[in-house]
């Protein structure tokens, strides 16, 4: 009797996992789109270091929830976002060193 219940629970967990992964895939696409927009704002001088930090912090908070970082897709998304934001920070630092031109 408990084995049927355990199997049902495992199947439900698996289905939820597939749904979670689909949601993560959508979030990755949205994040990539936002990073392109943020990069353009940085290039145009609209976003600065504080803006990038705030953006990074706001995206990192949900990932600290309930083992989300253990998900491979979430981990890849976070790595990509951090890499892109680091590149944008380097761009800002080079622009500041080289002046406005």
- Domain borders along the chain are 2-98
- The pLDDT of residue 22 is 81
- The pLDDT of residue 27 is 80
- The pLDDT of residue 68 is 64
Burial 48-68 (b: 16+ CB within 10 A, else e): eeeebeebbeebeeeeeeeeb
Task: Report the alpha-carbon angle 101-80-26, nearest 5.
Answer: 115
- The pLDDT of residue 9 is 60
Asked if the model's pLDDT at residue 101 lies above 60, the reply is no
For 34-88, how does the pLDDT look when each residue is reduced to its tens digit (9 = 90+)? Answer: 888 988 999 999 988 898 888 888 877 666 666 666 677 777 777 888 888 889 9
The pTM of the full predicted model, rounded to 2 decimals, is 0.63
Please compute the mean of the pLDDT values over residues 10-19 and round it to a whole number.
Answer: 65
């Amino acid at each position: 009797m408990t084995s049927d219940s355990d199997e049902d629970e495992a199947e439900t967990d698996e289905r939820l996992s597939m749904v979670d992964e689909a949601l993560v895939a959508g979030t990755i696409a949205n994040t990539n789109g936002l990073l392109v927009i943020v990069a353009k704002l940085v290039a145009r001088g609209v976003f600065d270091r504080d803006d990038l930090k705030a953006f990074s912090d706001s995206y990192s908070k949900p990932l600290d929830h309930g083992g989300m970082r253990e998900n491979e897709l979430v981990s890849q998304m976070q790595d990509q976002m951090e890499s892109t934001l680091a590149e944008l920070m380097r761009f800002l630092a080079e622009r500041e060193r080289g002046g406005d031109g």
